[in-house]
Amino acid sequence: MKTILKSFIYSFYFAKISLKNYLPLILYLVISQFLIMITQNMLLVLVFFMLYLIASAPVALNIFRNIIAEENIINSYSYFIGKSFSKLFVKKIMYLAASMFLIYLVHIIILSPFFPAEIQEITPYLYILFMYMIYIYTRIIFILPAASINISKSLKDSYVLTKGNSIRIYLMYISILVPYLLINLVISKYAGINYEFIFVFISILMQIFFTLISSALIAYIYKDFFKEVD
């Protein structure tokens, strides 16, 4: 609970003093949401999601390096472009995203014979699978904070590091993820046509804040539990 509260407070502090660091991210989300609303293309949603992982890298790097390496917060987005640790970080982001997709695909293939035939009955199973995939994610995500300080770790390294603390880390991550998803669900359900743009902008701000708080949480966990191992 202490780590979550610390991450929450840190996110507000970071948002206050580093507007230039995450402002390009807001602009990216505004443009991408506008294009998605116009085209209604699901493939475009996937493309913009993948690009967001890369676009948000300077923000995550700023937070990771401030908390883990105790460097000053940089009020700039472009500062992180082209740095050696940035290149490693982006490489690890793509590696992590591809790994999660393959792990999910393998689970779907293995479990598909056991899924009910009716689509309505499959939904609870998919929710359970989703929660399990989040658990896997919290076991292997620590390749990212390591990469932010120019340390290359494998998925196995991260998985081993979390041994003994995996449930605790999972519950902490779930405690910030679930409220974020529920609020977004409520917004998408009750956003009327007349107020659609307002609710979209609120969703964008929430996505930015979730990026801040999730990055801060992962950074604090890495610093408190694992940095001494490096």
Report yes or no: 96 and 102 within 8 Å, Cβ to Cβ: no
pLDDT of 7-57, one tens digit each? 999 999 999 999 999 999 999 999 998 888 788 788 888 888 889 999 999
The whole-model pTM stands at: 0.89
Look up residue 117 and give its DSSP letter: S
Stated length of the chain: 230
pLDDT of 153-163, one tens digit each? 999 999 999 98
Look up residue 225 and give its DSSP letter: I
Report yes or no: 57 and 80 within 8 Å, Cβ to Cβ: yes
Report yes or no: 210 and 176 within 8 Å, Cβ to Cβ: yes
The mean of the pLDDT values for the chain is: 89
Q: Give me the phi and psi of 68, to 5 degrees please.
A: -80, -50
141's tokens: 């995500």
Residue bearing the bigger pLDDT, 40 or 107: 107
The pLDDT of residue 228 is 52
The pLDDT of residue 196 is 66
How far is the C-alpha of 212 from the C-alpha of 94, rounded, in Å? 19
How far is the C-alpha of 57 from the C-alpha of 86, rounded, in Å? 8
The helix (run of H) or strand (run of E) holding residue 125 is helix 119-140
The whole domain housing 8 covers 2-229
CB within 8 Å of 75: residues ≥ 6 apart: 17, 18, 19, 20, 21
The pLDDT of residue 46 is 86
Residue bearing the bigger pLDDT, 11 or 181: 11
Asked if the model's pLDDT at residue 115 lies above 80, the reply is: no
Asked if the model's pLDDT at residue 167 lies above 60, the reply is: yes
Asked if the model's pLDDT at residue 149 lies above 90, the reply is: yes
How far is the C-alpha of 75 from the C-alpha of 178, rounded, in Å? 30
The pLDDT of residue 125 is 80
pLDDT of 72-102, one tens digit each? 999 999 999 989 999 999 999 999 999 999 9
The pLDDT of residue 162 is 92
What's at 65, amino acid-wise? R
Instruction: Characterise 82 by phi-psi region: left (phi > 0), alpha (psi -120 to 50), beta (else).
Output: left
Domain count, the chain: 1
pLDDT of 207-223, one tens digit each? 999 999 999 999 999 99
How far is the C-alpha of 158 from the C-alpha of 144, rounded, in Å? 9
Quote the distance between the C-alpha of residue 220 and its chain's center: 15
Asked if the model's pLDDT at residue 230 lies above 70, the reply is: no
214's tokens: 């999730």
